[in-house]
Chains A and B, each alone.
Chain A
């Protein structure tokens, strides 16, 4: 059974870079059948798609974040990661990683999520 687990600092200072890792177990990030995505949810608010990656070959980003976001895959560790630069308090959210069968499809399963707070 595929499982995803987010990890990374829970507190990031304003203007710094947020870095998170999603570790995949029970499946491979190199699978040609799946894409891997990041979604976030500010406290008390709705879901916001950040971006999706396919096998280190293709990346798709939310236009509102494109200038600050980067998603990559580490095949040796079966992980994929998220980097978000120049963070502000508006980036405070629970960050989820998830698998998708396609860039135009849904997300399943999801990781449990990790709260990242941006504060000095």
Chain B
């Protein structure tokens, strides 16, 4: 069981908006630690998509956005494209474990 909880899968049609949730606790997200999001295309290494809850690295389209509230965070993807089909992971720091923790991952299917 992952410390951060994500839905196993989400789906949407091209052009639609989807959101992926990441639920933690008072030891991680709720404690104010930053949340990062990663995109992992099939057969490749994870790529940083969002850092510091809602910041995009250079080169990441503004179709991707992050938010955080309480003990949860969300990744929103607007204008879905076929190339967005991938696994998405959230990550934060956990004070009880004194280290990084990841969500279990969410598989996004573009219908």
Give chain A's interface residues, CB within 8 Å of chain B.
37, 39, 46-49, 51-52, 60-63, 96, 103-113
Q: How far is the CA of A111 from the CA of B38 in the complex (A)?
A: 14
Using A60-B99, A105-B51 as known contacts, say yes or no to A96 and B104 having CB atoms under 8 A apart. no
| 1/0 contact string of B31-66 vs chain A (CB within 8 Å) | 001101010000011111001000001000000000
Interface footprint category on B: 20 to 34
Chain B interface mostly? strand
Query: What are 10 of the A-B contact pairs (CB < 8 Å)?
Result: A37-B100, A46-B104, A52-B99, A61-B99, A96-B45, A103-B99, A104-B93, A105-B51, A107-B38, A110-B45
Q: How far is the CA of A72 from the CA of B101 in the complex (A)?
A: 21
For A37, the chain B residues whose CB sits under 8 A away are 100
For B102, the chain A residues whose CB sits under 8 A away are 39, 46-49
For A110, the chain B residues whose CB sits under 8 A away are 45-47
Using A62-B97, A105-B51, A106-B91 as known contacts, say yes or no to A46 and B2 having CB atoms under 8 A apart. yes
| Whole-angstrom distance between the Cβ of B8 and the nearest chain A Cβ | 10
